Amino acid sequence: MSSAGDPMHDSESTAQGLFEKAEQLAAEFAKTAVERDKAGGTAKAERDRLRESGLLSLIIPAEHGGHGLDWHDTLRIVRIISAADSSLGHLFGFQHLLLATVRLFGDQWPHYYRETARNRWFWGNTLNPLDTRARIMPDGGHWLVHGTKSFCSGALDSDHLIVSALTDQGKLVVAAIPPSRPGIRLHSDWDNMGQRQTDSGTVEFYEVRIYDHEILRSPGLLGSVYASLRSLIAQLVLTNIYLGIGEGALAEARVYTRSQSRAWFSSGVESPTQDPYVLQKYGEFWVELNAAALVTNQAARLLDAAWLKEEALTEEERAQVALATASAKVLATRAGLDVTQRLFEVTGARATAAAAGFDRFWRNLRTHSLHDPVDYKLLDLGQWVLNGKLPVLSFYS
């Protein structure tokens, strides 16, 4: 029986094509990842390849010009890109987080979705709720923003920005504006040990005009249980970046061990692929990453179910997503840090050569995993296990 015209088959075919495209791009990005990590700066050519690919519209529904993928598949593609180059995976993951921000915080989202799909917009981030230096004040029927924001990933070379600032009353306001707006200064001052091509430096606002229709206020920040899913999407984006880094490190280490590593003189074997200690470590790496992947995928499936409920989502249903997401982030962080630190034990001394670039995996994961401490994810989980308390709604839980 022919499957032509079957919506389910068409959807699966579309997803398969997008995964193949992501794998092709990842292979392309991996060829220059070590060189670009050393150079730092903006990955302009690679960002343009992502624009051209159409992958920036994965989560946008088909009726608004996108591909209509669910979060489970979208986040798997974030992981594929991150395994090749976690800086690009970071920017790519944040693209979909920022689209979710528009969807969850403001009723203008159909417009922004259509324009993103039509113009292949790459979104940049200046929403950092812990950096309170930017202020917003009324100006006639509109607003003015003045101040500085840090950790502004992807703001450079962006086509649209998510901006946040505080009112004099301490209320956080979020808006969507073009980065070409007069008074915005994007600085190339990101020079950290990892994630070197995320352009996560500072942005300064000098009395930047924000029009009233650009404010995301309905329902606004954490304005409903559904809107609070934004925090969990952010956590799952980070989790898939970490998991991708671990998987990428394992894949490159495996190739190196097979092709270049040497057996230790007293091992009694001709190849490190026969060394029982090397085999044991690879087994440990696989168990850690596979366990983290299973929990991460399950959290994404719970997110998809919650996403479809929209405003009917209950606090208890949201809490189940939060708990699964916290578990996934702890596992992915621990597994990734272990693999990226210990991979030298299975590749050998020559793998520390700068040309191999194996150190970038640990540097990238360690840099990014300090975004918010996993200890506080364990605290949330402990409160639920022992005291039955649901995670408190916040930008991080």
pLDDT in tens, 333-371: 999 999 999 999 999 999 999 999 999 999 999 999 998
Question: 256 with 306, same domain?
Answer: yes
Is 393 domain-assigned? no
CA dihedral 200, 190, 90, 306 (to 10 degrees): -30
pTM > 0.85: yes
Q: Could you say which DSSP state residue 214 is in?
A: G
Q: Report helix angle 315-342 to 276-309, nearest 10.
A: 160
Q: Report helix angle 86-105 to 229-259, nearest 10.
A: 170
How far, CA to CA in Å, does 113 sit from each of 58, 108, 109, 365?
A: 11, 9, 6, 31
Q: Which helix (H) or strand (E) holds 274?
A: none
pLDDT in tens, 28-78: 999 999 999 999 999 999 999 999 999 999 999 999 999 999 999 999 999
The CATH number given to whatever domain includes residue 237 is: 1.20.140.10
Question: 27 with 131, same domain?
Answer: no
Is 223 domain-assigned? no
pLDDT > 80? residue 8? no
pLDDT > 60? residue 381? yes
pLDDT > 70? residue 5? no
Question: 149 with 74, same domain?
Answer: no
Is 165 domain-assigned? yes
Number of domains in the chain: 3
The reported pLDDT for the residue numbered 9 is: 60
Is 370 domain-assigned? yes
Q: What is the rounded distance in angstroms from the CA atom of residue 31 to the CA atom of residue 28?
A: 6
Choosing from 122, 156, 171, the residue where a domain stops is 122
Q: Provide the pairing of β-strand 160-166 with 123-126.
A: parallel
Closest CA to 118 of 65, 53, 159, 178: 65
pLDDT > 70? residue 142? yes
Is 396 domain-assigned? no
Q: Which tokens belong to 253?
A: 């280490």
Is 367 domain-assigned? yes
pLDDT in tens, 144-180: 999 999 999 999 999 999 999 999 999 999 999 999 9
Q: What angle do CA 159, 26, 110 make, to 5 degrees?
A: 35
Q: Which tokens belong to 171?
A: 């209320």
Choosing from 87, 122, 157, the residue where a domain stops is 122
Average pLDDT over residues 201-230: 95
Question: 92 with 153, same domain?
Answer: no
Is 298 domain-assigned? yes
Sequence-separated (6 or more) residues with CB below 8 Å from residue 87? 36, 37, 43, 195, 196, 197, 198, 364
Residue whose entry in the numeric block shows the structure tokens 């719970």: 302
The CATH number given to whatever domain includes residue 21 is: 1.10.540.10
The reported pLDDT for the residue numbered 1 is: 47
Question: 108 with 135, same domain?
Answer: no
3-class state of residue 69 by DSSP: coil
Range of the domain at 53: 7-122
